[in-house]
Structure 1
Amino acid sequence: MENMTSLFIHIAIIGGTATLLMDAWGWLRHPLLGVAPPDYGLVGRWLLHMRRGRFSHPAIARAAPMRGERLTGWLFHYLTGMVFAALLLAMVGPQWLASPTPGPALMVGIATLAAPLLVMQPAMGAGIAACKTPTPNRARLQSLLTHGVFGIGLYVGGYVDAWIMQ
């Protein structure tokens, strides 16, 4: 049981750090690039509508608001970051914790693009790879940059984890 608890702590630290860095990037994009930060309340709205059997929307912003959507969206966002950190550790093994390397972390970060481009954006009304948005290529580039930052965050999270868990 100790090993599972320790593994969960590693995953929480790495995934939490990576997601926090991704959020910092999201907030910095506005003053730097004029791109608004993501609204995770809309993710929560999408998830909470699933309880009523509604899995896709023509435009999630126009769907009925749901009680607790903001909290749900933010919790899901951080939980997803931890799931992706677990994926990284499953791919590279626990030895990565002793000496994190950027390659696998960046690879996982970029691979996480599949979630918004192929699942979330279509289900929330933006189409596959944001094809129904006014500027799809800009949206795709922003997704790529954001998930690249997440990959860097996984790498940084490996070092934060090593520092905390030493």
Structure 2
Amino acid sequence: MSSIIFTILIGIGATLVMDLWSLLRKSLFGLHPTNWGLVGRWIAYMKQGKFRHKTITDAEPISGEQLIGWLAHYVIGIGYAVLLIAVCGQPWINKPTLAPALILGIVTVIAPFFILQPGMGAGIAASRTPNPNSTRLHNLINHAVFGLGLFLSALVVKSFVLR
């Protein structure tokens, strides 16, 4: 299997782990999963030159925003896997370890803090949300779970796909 296929599979797997965590989080803590349709709306408005919103929920809905948001979510997950492999290379593919994947997952929280949330009207690091510290903590946990998902997905791909 090529390293490209490996990378795509672990990116998809890690994103799926994050989504499963989101469902578990909802049942355990009553926290709603991310609305990827709103992310899709934000992305769709970029085509019109609008990169920042007072609040994305006030923006007029866009046809296909759910699909755009979900596709973006998985493409970004694959992109983060590409970053992991670019940094760690073939040695990590040969023998995945938790630390690099977990560190990368945690570092990726920079994107929602400084790009996504400000663009959607939530402020830098969710500063304009009703409970910013709680939102930040959950974002950090979600991205750590994504990092764990990179590691677990690599183990699964090596065990079941690469055999």
Q: TM-score, normalised by structure 1?
A: 0.95
**Are positions 1:13 and 2:9 aligned together?**
yes
Offset at 1:80? 0.3
**Are positions 1:31 and 2:27 aligned together?**
yes
Q: How many residues align?
A: 162
What is the correspondence of 1:39-118 to structure 2 with a 5 Å cutoff? 39-118=35-114
Q: Distance in 2 between matches of 1:7 and 1:64?
A: 41
Q: What corresponds to 2:127 in structure 1? A: 131
Three-state SS of the structure 2 residue aligned to 1:80 is helix
Contact 1:10 1:161 (C-alpha < 8 Å) held by counterparts: yes
| Unmatched segments (≥5 aa) in structure 2 | none
What is the correspondence of 1:133-148 to structure 2 with a 5 Å cutoff? 133-148=129-144
Three-state SS of the structure 2 residue aligned to 1:94 is helix
CA-based RMSD: 1.0
Post-superposition CA distance 1:3-41 (Å, at most 9, x none)? xx8222111111011000000011111110111011000
Offset at 1:165? 2.0
Identity %: 47
Offset at 1:91? 0.7
